């Protein structure tokens, strides 16, 4: 028994010493597709106006701005929101009551956004946006994820197009 325990302990130590980071920061096959999803071109030569319109739409969506660096065309923002619907929570509590385990459900989330403008080859500007979030559950555990829902990106850019128009007309 003691031998097995020692062997297990050794295996755990060896495994923890063998974490490899060699695959870190390697471009994967999907990066161009992701870039396309996250980017839209705007026919304007005024980068500053485009960033002002972008900040406006982020405010429309309830984000608070963290950082902005006009010279790099960058805006970062975040917002805190509740996570998971009430229905989901009730469902989880009900299920765990049946199985006699403790219910685990999402409680809150912090949504992060990075928005960057860059000059494109058609004499206009591209806007690239990325959404990610941290989610906390009722056990105070946290997980992080990049938001990849196509609809979210499409809706954002539609709102930005509208904001470019509204801001240009001082609305």
Partner 1 sequence: MKKFLLTVIVVLSLSACSSTHRDVLGTSQTQVQMRNYQSRSFDTNDRTLVLRAVVSTMQDLGFIIDRADERLGTISGTSYTHASKMTVSVRVINKNQIVVRANAQVGLKPLEEPIAYQNFFNALGQSLFLEAHEVE
Binding site for partner 1 (CB under 8 A): 20-27, 31, 34-35, 38, 66-67, 69, 71-74, 76, 112-114, 116, 118, 128, 130, 132, 144-146
| Residue with Cβ nearer partner 1 (126 or 167) | 126
| Residue with Cβ nearer partner 1 (20 or 86) | 20
CB of 5 to partner 1, least distance (A): 27
| Residue with Cβ nearer partner 1 (38 or 92) | 38
List Cα–Cα distances, 9 to 1, 17, 18, 59, 62, in angstroms. 12, 12, 14, 52, 49
Q: What are phi and psi of 121, to 5 degrees?
A: -80, -5
145 membership: H or E segment, kind and range: strand 142-147
CB of 70 to partner 1, least distance (A): 8
CB of 112 to partner 1, least distance (A): 5
| Residue with Cβ nearer partner 1 (3 or 22) | 22
42 CB contacts (<8 Å, ≥6 apart)? 50, 124, 125, 126, 127, 161, 164
150-168 vs 47-60: helix axis angle to the nearest 10? 120
CB of 90 to partner 1, least distance (A): 29
Is 140 strand, coil or helix? coil
| Residue with Cβ nearer partner 1 (134 or 168) | 134
d(CA 125, CA 74): 13
CB of 57 to partner 1, least distance (A): 18
């Amino acid at each position: 028994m003691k031998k097995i325990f020692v062997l297990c302990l050794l295996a755990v130590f060896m495994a923890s010493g063998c974490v490899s980071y060699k695959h870190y920061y390697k471009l994967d096959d999907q990066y161009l597709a992701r870039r396309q999803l996250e980017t839209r071109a705007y026919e304007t030569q005024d980068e500053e106006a485009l960033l002002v319109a972008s900040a406006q739409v982020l405010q429309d969506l309830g984000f608070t701005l963290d950082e902005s660096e006009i010279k790099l065309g960058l805006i970062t923002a975040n917002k805190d929101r509740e996570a998971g619907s009430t229905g989901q929570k009730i469902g989880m509590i009900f299920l765990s009551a049946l199985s006699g385990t403790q219910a685990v459900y999402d409680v809150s989330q912090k949504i992060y956004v990075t928005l960057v403008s860059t000059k494109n080859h058609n004499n206009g500007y591209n806007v690239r946006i990325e959404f990610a979030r941290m989610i906390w559950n009722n056990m105070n555990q946290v997980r992080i994820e990049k938001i990849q829902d196509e609809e979210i990106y499409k809706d954002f850019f539609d709102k930005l197009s509208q904001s470019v128009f509204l801001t240009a007309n001082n609305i």
